[in-house]
Chains A and B, each alone.
Chain A
Amino acid sequence: MSSLKFFPLGNADTCLITLRDDRRMLVDFADMRDPEDDEDRRCDLPALIREEMAESKQRGFAVAAFTHLDNDHCKGSPDLLWLDHASCYQGDGRFKVETLWVPASAITEEGLDDDARIIRQEARHRLREGSGIIVFSRPERLQDWMRDQGLAISDREHCFIDAGNLAPGFDLTQDGVEFFVHSPHAYRTDDRALEDRNGDSLVFQARFTEGGQLCDVLFSADVTHEVLAEIVDLTRKNKNDDRLHWNAYKLPHHCSYTALGPEKGESLTEPVEQVDWLCRTMGEKQGFVISSSLPIPMTGTPEDEDKQPPHRQAANYYRNKIVASRNFLVTMEHPNKAAPRAIVLEVTADGLIHKALGVAGPASIVSGVAPRAG
């Protein structure tokens, strides 16, 4: 059975996906906790991941996807992962990554520091080697960089996947999951001088199946309403509407109002038309909205005045208009603000379910007391 685990990391993202065959996949990894701070309620991400990998006897990740290289999406990842490009990132206790997923900007971007730079170097290394990487872009986008490296596009086409396609390496029937790529899309990446990192981040729909039931999870990185509107327009134009369907929607940018519309609003952010359609029409009423963020601020609190997300007005839109407020899940509020724990969504024949915490194993529940026959 596949499942998705969203960790409480403040305004930062990490989702650990368990595939049907027990392989693991990371969507972002951001170890944000300050070990010196006893009051820090963010989880000890490397410890939790290591524990789970040991428990499930997994030695690496099928995929590590970095939606973009902001700190809150990749911090600490070079300490966890085995990186091929330099021996100092290799050795015991590191997890190998079969395939790295990055947007094109992660290859070309200059001026990166620290962990983002290390992941960029790994991505570049893998692209140079021509294996273990999928760059979310048209290959032409990297024409100049490739030429500088002495690489021919025709030799590296297998390392690219363009928007509007299924990511290679997964088959819905066989693996129980497939990934439809929404962004970066050509509309944004053709012949542009400026790079908008959030705009060039990975947006994809993960489609799972279990017992004949499809469960769609929309991952939207940190994109803005403008990017979302473009995605909706393009997808609808290509009649791929169902690729925007979701049973769970991992909100962009930690529940920022900018993912809904241009104005924050007083008590509720008004979404632009395309985003409203995406939420109302494409979302399951009994589905889940996940905000990978700090707790939603109360009205009038200093946090409420803060420009940074999460924005109460955006949260109000999702929990008042889109899903039941119980199904609006905030990573740093789950199950309570005092001791947040990871949110687990399980893919079942009933759809995506939100697992309760601290429950007994399934065997003791279903079997009950086995009566003796006699």
Chain B
Amino acid sequence: MVNDRWLVDRASSEIGPEDIRNPLLRALARQASRADYTGADVLGARCSEDRETEALLLEVRVELGQAERRNDIQLVEPVAIVSATGSVAPQVYPLRADFPQNVPHLNANLPGLPKSLCLYLATPEDLARTIAPPRLLERVRWWMRETAYGRLHGQDQQLDPIFVGAAQAVVVSPDFFNVEGVFYVGSLYSSRPDSPIELQQLLPEEDPRKEGGTGRFVVVKLTTEALPHGQMLNLPRNVCELLSSYAELGVELSNSLRAELRMWPSKEHLKAMLDQPAIICISTPLLRENGSVEGATERAYIAAEATTGALGEALGAFAVANGYAGQLLGQDAPAIDQEALERIALLPLDIRYSFDRSLASQSSGWEERDRDKITLIGAGALGSQIALACARGGFGKWSVIDHDHLLPHNLARHALLRPHMGWPKAETLAAEIMRLLPDEAAEPIVANVLREEEQEKVRDAIHASDLVIDATASVAAARWLSRLDRPNTRALSVFLNPRGSDLVVLREAQNHAVLLDHLEMSYYWNLLHTDELKDHLSTKDVVFNGSCRTPSVQIPQSKIGVLANIAAQHIFENSHHDDAEISLWRLNPDLQIATHSFPAEAYVERELGGWSISVRNGLLDDIGAARRAAGEFETGGIVIGAWDRQNKKIYLVGASDPPPDSRQEKTGFVRGSVGLYREIEDTEARSALNLTYVGEWHTHPTGVTSRPSTDDNILLRWIADSLEYNDAPAIMVIAGEDGVRVRMLADVNLSEFVHCC
């Protein structure tokens, strides 16, 4: 075994292990010779005449148990560890004559040459830095044991490292081998000689030489009959070896190759390509032990130095005379010119599949979710990056809604780049997603959702979606979306705070029990009670660019990128969860990320006097609890909330405690004022004016209903007077035995409802 022909060819002289010059091999020999190391023993050493190649021959001991082995690996396996000048890391070749050749993670090699173990994922250059003799030896023993029990996964059989760097890639579409009746030509992506090769379909009658046609390749593709799993091909050096290596596996390749080649001179528009070289792509379906077909092994070879005409002639596909190729008539058995075939050299090509949704999901480790229809409103910096990050993971079919154009300042942090300058963001972002995932993955809608006349065209897209993402950074747009009737579409808002340090995600419940505007109110309410976030909405130190109505904040792409990608990952992971959520991520100045999550409470909704009132459940609970605690006394305080004058909505969000100077009596409650001004100021500051004083609340004692007293009516009038210049109705909330009563005075119109607790 140590006299294997290839080994003698590469390293003709026997030497003592102590004479090895390569430091790693020498250390390996020392390690394996130690009496207290039993993982391997030294069999010998060899070198080439010029000492460029050295080989250490070892017998490695494999730790095998009694479980059934999937592959014939034995307790002791002889290997050659070969190092060559210029190669960064040594290669390990099994030496046993009947060592299994059909196992994963062996590197393919030319006929007559051994297949080396594919030991590491890392590149040889990275490996060279850390590889130490004990580790290499243990890795070999580990490889053997894992292979014995069939645990080294995957069927990928890379080319022997000797080819690395020489091998070119050819990029094919995922359905390349399945599409019939289509002709392809190949061309280099770039002008570099080792550029990957791009394949293009030739449309019927399209002239492949219309742009000169030189530097293009004729592509011949074949699918052979299925072969048992795991059979491994040697790498052929020429067409003759290609035919014979398939013949060894019982596959007759020449007939189908000939049939494919004959197509080219038979078509007028293809004929002209016969003076160009050919690329041969071969797919072999793999048979499992139970006879079912699973997967395929695919290989490609380029005959760069010969013309397709010469290849066809050598195979007896056609004859070329005076530059014209013609079918051979009257010959039963076509004459194969073996010598000519031997002269047509082949180089292996790596087959790479073009990027599509499946590869996107696989590369990202995300399950494939092409059925999730998503509408994105707002293709700004955040929205564009979220959509593109999701699409890169194969997630979503997208409708992109935006009315804006890409302008110079956008380039600092938008997913789109200079070539898209001046174009509508919706169109260019959708086009990029479609280019990325060629399955109609996106459609653009250039529209402003806040313009009534443009809303019609976005409604259909939203109705047809499972999820609508509001990335407009516009509260007005989010409120419009919240009110929009969309029975099967849930909404999610995503935005950054003014300084760009915090990301907020508000996601509705699947059953629409908690809507976007409710989440927004609860988010403000929680900001009031979370001291770490007291400056969340502050605009202090925020520097704006641009003019007054087109503000643009100074935030670097590095920050937006971090937060946009958190949003994308979060949306992917959670969009199928039924519950609503309020989540916040803060990128701190030291680049640590803090997360906050708040309860997404439900609201009680009522129509009252032309207004729609939403009362946070927690507010009702708090007032009920205060009443029970007060017993036979009354208690009260102010109500915090918001008016949306445009949409005629009132939100009652929170109840403050009674100020310390309040008078709590059995027959009445007089709300004090100590600290109240400060509290309202603080509320408005922390919520960026989104929450403020909207009215008063008080309770009636045990046994008394919520029916308002004369004093209560006077109080409501007082509230209305004090809010006179706010252009908003006055609100009074009274808790009694029958529940919580909400009274509203708008102008002179009084209306009310009682919510039974």
Contact = CB atoms under 8 A, between A and B. Distances in A.
Interface stretch (A218-226, A261-269, A345-353): A345-353
Contact of A326 (B35, B76, B123, B129): B76
B547 interface: no
Given A247-B66, A326-B75, A355-B63, A368 B36 contact: no
B46 interface: no
A357 interface: yes
B36 A284 contact: no
A125 B61 CA distance: 48
Interface in B22-54: 34-39
A334 to B, nearest CB: 9
B122 A353 contact: no
A193 interface: no
Contact of A364 (B67, B120, B138): B138
B66 A287 contact: yes
B120 A369 contact: yes
A254 to B, nearest CB: 23
Q: Is chain B's interface secondary structure helix, strand, loop, or mixed overall?
A: loop
A366 B66 CA distance: 22
B134 A369 contact: no
Contacts of A374: none
Interface string A322-357: 001011000000011011010000101111111111
Contact of A368 (B67, B139, B148): B139
A316 interface: no
Interface in A16-64: none
Contact of A358 (B36, B63, B66, B139): B36
B119 interface: yes
Contacts of A213: 65, 67
B757 interface: no
A341 B36 contact: yes
Contacts of A302: none
Contacts of A358: 34, 36-39
Contacts of A327: 75
Contacts of B123: 371
B58 to A, nearest CB: 13
Contacts of B127: 368-369
A88 interface: no
Interface string A232-274: 0000000000000001000000000000000000000000000
A2 to B, nearest CB: 13
Contacts of A350: 64-67, 145, 148-149
B65 A368 contact: no
A209 B66 CA distance: 13
Contacts of B66: 215, 247, 284-287, 350-352
A251 B252 CA distance: 58
B131 interface: yes
A286 B67 CA distance: 9
Contact of A365 (B34, B76, B122, B142): B142
A360 interface: yes
B63 A353 contact: yes
A60 B382 CA distance: 61
A210 to B, nearest CB: 10
B130 interface: yes
A286 B65 contact: yes
B404 to A, nearest CB: 33
Interface residues of B, number: 34
Contact of B138 (A326, A352, A360, A369): A360
A351 B63 contact: no
Given A341-B36, A353-B64, A356-B141, A324 B75 contact: yes
Nearest to A326: B75
A326 B77 CA distance: 13
Contact of B131 (A284, A286, A369): A369
Contacts of B142: 365-366
A190 B120 CA distance: 63
Nearest to B119: A368
Contacts of A336: 35
B135 interface: yes
Nearest to A368: B120
B738 interface: no
A368 B122 contact: yes
Given A368-B119, A369-B131, A371-B122, A359 B39 contact: yes
Contacts of B145: 350
Contacts of B35: 335-336, 338-339
A359 B34 CA distance: 11
B126 interface: yes
Interface in B110-160: 119-123, 126-127, 129-131, 134-135, 137-139, 141-142, 145, 148-149
Given A284-B66, A365-B142, A359 B120 contact: no
B121 A356 contact: no
Contacts of A356: 37-39, 61, 63, 141
- Which among A247, A336, A368 has the greatest number of chain B C-beta atoms within 10 A? A368
B36 A357 contact: yes
Interface string A119-159: 00000000000000000000000000000000000000000
A366 B119 CA distance: 10
Contacts of A335: 35-36, 38
Contacts of A353: 63-65
Contacts of B130: 369
A359 B38 CA distance: 8
Contacts of B120: 368-369
Interface in B62-98: 63-67, 75-76
Nearest to A355: B63
A339 B38 CA distance: 12
With a 10 A CB-CB cut-off, give which of B38, B127, B148 has the most chain A CB atoms.
B38
A365 B142 CA distance: 7
A353 B38 CA distance: 14
A364 B75 CA distance: 22
Nearest to B60: A356
A365 B126 contact: no
B135 A365 contact: yes
A93 B257 CA distance: 80
A126 to B, nearest CB: 37
Contacts of B131: 369
Contacts of B137: 359
A200 B461 CA distance: 86
Contact of B139 (A324, A354, A365): A365
Contacts of A215: 65-66
A359 B64 contact: no
Contacts of A368: 119-122, 127, 135, 139
A100 B123 CA distance: 55
Nearest to B31: A358
A116 to B, nearest CB: 35
A352 B65 contact: yes
Contacts of A324: 75
A280 to B, nearest CB: 15
A358 B34 CA distance: 9
Contacts of A348: 65
Contacts of B134: 359-360, 364
B147 to A, nearest CB: 12
B63 A339 contact: no
Given A369-B130, A371-B126, A357 B63 contact: no
A286 B129 CA distance: 38
Given A286-B65, A369-B122, 14 more contacts: A213-B65, A215-B65, A285-B66, A335-B38, A336-B35, A339-B36, A351-B65, A355-B63, A356-B38, A356-B39, A357-B38, A358-B34, A358-B36, A365-B139
15 contacts: A215-B65, A286-B64, A286-B66, A326-B76, A335-B35, A349-B67, A353-B63, A353-B64, A356-B38, A356-B39, A359-B138, A360-B135, A364-B134, A364-B138, A369-B131
Interface of A: 213, 215, 247, 284-287, 324, 326-327, 335-336, 338-339, 341, 346, 348-360, 364-366, 368-371
Which are the 3 A-B pairs with shortest beta-carbon distances?
A: A351-B65, A351-B66, A350-B65
